[in-house]
Amino acid sequence: MSVILYGLVGMILLTMAVGLYVAKKIEGDSVNYIVAGRGLVLPLAAATLMAQSLDANATLGNTDLTANFGFWAGAALPIGLAGCLFLTGLFFAKPMNRMDLMTLPDFYRRKYGRVTEVVASLIMVLSFSLLLGGNLVAGGFLFQTFMGTTFVQGVLVISAVVFVYTIAGGLFAVAYTDVIQAVVALTGSLALIAYVAINYGITIPDGMGPTALVQINPLDNSAGSWINLATIFALALGDIVAIDFMERVFAADSPETAQKACFAGSAGTLIIGIPFSIVALSAGSILDSIGVEAGNQAVLYVLLQEAVPPWLAVLVLAGIVAASLSTGDGAILGTSAALARNVLGIRDPDSPGEGVKADGSGFLSEGSDKLLATTRVMAVPITILGAFFAIQVSATGMLLVLAFDVAFAGLLVPLAFGIYKPDIATAPAALAGMLAGSLTRLAFFVLLPTTYAIQNNLLYIENSLVPAGWDGLVTFIAPVVGLGVFLGVAFVTKDDYPTPTVTAGRRRTIVAGGDDDG
C-alpha cells in the first residue's frame, strides 16, 4: 500500500509543480490565463481536449456502471464524450475558433445580447459545478480508499489541491499537465487491459457485453436502454456547449488546429475509455477467483487493490488523479471566467485578442488585471459549490451526465442556429428556448426519484405527475421542448428583432512558450 500512497502523492505534487511553474506564462494577462494566449499547437490542443473528456467520471464512473448494468451503461460515457469531440470538430471547431472568443457566453452576447449572455452563463455555471462535483467525488473515494481519509475529508483535500492549481496557471497549466495526464492515462489503460487479459482472461457475462444491443434498443427499455441512449446523446450533444471544451477550441492556434485536435481527442477518448469498460465486465469473475467481494466500494478501486501489482495500480490511479485535477481545473476556470466576464461584465478593451468591447455594464470596472484577478476570486464560490454537490450526491456518472443534460436542453439550439441559421435566430427566441429547455430538464430532475438509475438524494419532490419509468426518456423531452419554443418565438419575432451574424474578430496569437509570434 505504501507504494500506491507514494505514487499518488508524487503524481499530485508533479501536477501541482508543473501548474505552478507554467503560471509565469500568464504575465498578468487574462487572455493568457483563460485561453492560453490563443496559441496552443496541435499536440497540446489535442492532449488537453482528450484529457478534459477523460476525467474521473469516464473512468471510475464507467467501470462502476459497466460492472452493475452492462457494457453500454458504462461505455456510454467515453462513447458520448468521443462523439461530442467528433461533432465539435465536424461542425463547430473552425467557426468558433475564428470568432476569437474568450468564453463561450461571449458568443451569446455577440449574437443575442446581454440578457441572454447572463442567462447562458448561469446555466453553464450550474452544469459545470455538477461536473466539478463528479470529479471531486472520484477524488474523495480515492483518498478514502488509498490515503486513509474519510470521504468528506478526501473531497475537501482534492478541492483545495484543484483550487490552488487553478488560480495559479490557468489554461497554460492545464495544457502542459494534460500532456502528462494523457500519456499516463493511455499507458495505464492499455497496461491494465493487457494484464487482465494475460493473467485472468476477458470474461463477459451473458447479456452484459458489447453485443447485447438490447441495452441500446430504444423500443425495449427492459435493460435500461433509455438511460444508456440518454447518456450518449446528453454527452455527445450537450458537451458541445461545454465551456471547458470550447475554451480549448478557442485556445488553438488556428481553426485547422482546433478541428484536428477535436478529431484526435475523440479517437484518444475511445482508445483509453473502452478498455476500462472491458475490464469492468471481467471484474466479477476476477474478484471471485481471488476470493474478494467489492461490497460498496468502487469496483475499479477494489481491482487495483486486490488483483493487480502495485506498479500497475499506481499507474492507473495516477491517471485518474491527474484526470480529476485537470478536469476540475477546467471546470473551475471556465465557470470562474464566465462569472467574472459574462455575469459581472468585466471586460478587457485594450487586449488585442478581445472580441467583446466593454460597455460599462459590469459591477466592477473593466481592465485586464481586474478580469484576471476577479476570475481567480470567482474560483472560491465555484470550488465550494462543486464540493457541496460532491458531498450531497456521491455518484460520479450521474453528476457528469446531468450536467450536460441541462446544457443540452437549453444551450445547444441557440448556438447551432446562431451559427448556421442566424437570420431566424433572434434574442427572444434564444432566451425563451434556453429557459424552456433547461427549466424543463431541472423540473424533471426534481420530479423523478432517480436520475440515470441513481437515487435522487439532492432534491426530489414526491409526486404522481411524472412516471418513475421516464428516467432517461426526459433527456430527450427537454431539448425538444427547448427547440419547439425557440422555433415558435423565432417565427414570431424574426421580422422585428435584429439577427446579427457573429464573425471573426481580431486575433493575437501567442505560442505555447508565451511569446508573441506576430
Q: What is the pLDDT of residues 298-308, one digit of tens each?
A: 788 888 888 99
Whether 332 and 180 have beta carbons less than 8 Å apart is answered as no
Per-position b or e across 453-485, b if 16+ CB within 10 A of its CB: bbebebeeeeeeebeeeebbbbbbbbbebbbeb
* Cell numbers describing residue 216: 441500446
Q: Contact at 8 Å (CB) between 277 and 62?
A: yes
Three-state SS at 136: helix
**How far from chain centre, in Å, is Cα 372?**
22
Task: Say how far residue 465 (Cα) sits from the centre of its chain.
Answer: 31
Q: Which domain holds residue 133?
A: 3-345+368-394
- Report the amino acid identity of residue 367: G
27 within some domain: yes
Who's near 517: CB < 8 A, 6+ residues apart? 39, 509, 510, 511
Tell me whether residue 421 is in a domain: no
Residue 506 lies in a domain: no
CA angle 39, 44, 46 (to 5 degrees): 115
pLDDT for res 398: 61
d(CA 20, CA 37): 17
What's the pLDDT at 515?
Answer: 37
Classify residue 334: in a domain, yes or no. Answer: yes
- Cα 125 from Cα 122, distance rounded (Å): 5
Q: Which of 510, 28, 67, 14 is nearest to 277 (CA)?
A: 67
| Dist. CA 454–CA 330, nearest whole Å | 26
Q: Is residue 492 part of a domain?
A: no
DSSP 8-state symbol, 418: H
Tell me, yes or no, whether 416 lies in a domain: no
CA distance 162 to 410: 28
Name the DSSP class of 252: B
In a domain, residue 467? The reply is: no
Closest to 394 measured CA to CA, from 446, 458, 448: 458
Does residue 36 fall inside a structural domain? yes
How far is the C-alpha of 281 from the C-alpha of 275, rounded, in Å? 10
Angle between helix 114-146 and helix 299-306 axes, rounded to 10 deg: 30
Helix axes 255-281, 42-53, angle to 10 degrees: 40
pLDDT in tens, 151-201: 899 899 888 888 887 788 888 888 888 888 888 888 888 999 999 999 999
Spatial neighbors of 384 by CB under 8 A, at least 6 apart, are: none
* DSSP per-residue letters across 313-357: HHHHHHHHHHHHHHHHHHHHHHHHHIIIIIIS----TT-TT--S-
Cα gap 419→500, rounded to integer Å: 10
In the block, cell 459549490 appears at 385
- C-alpha angle with apex 440: 439 to 444, nearest 5 degrees? 115
- Which CATH number characterizes residue 290's domain? 1.20.1730.10
187 sits in which H/E element: helix 151-199
Domain count along the chain: 1
Contacts of 206 (CB under 8 A, 6+ apart): none
DSSP 516: B
The answer to pTM > 0.85 is yes
Positions of the chain with pLDDT lower than 50, given as ranges: 351-368, 507-518
Element of type H or E holding 245: helix 243-251
Instruction: Provide the pLDDT for residue 395.
Output: 61
Question: What is the gyration radius of the CA atoms in the chain, in angstroms?
Answer: 22
Report DSSP state, residue 450.
E
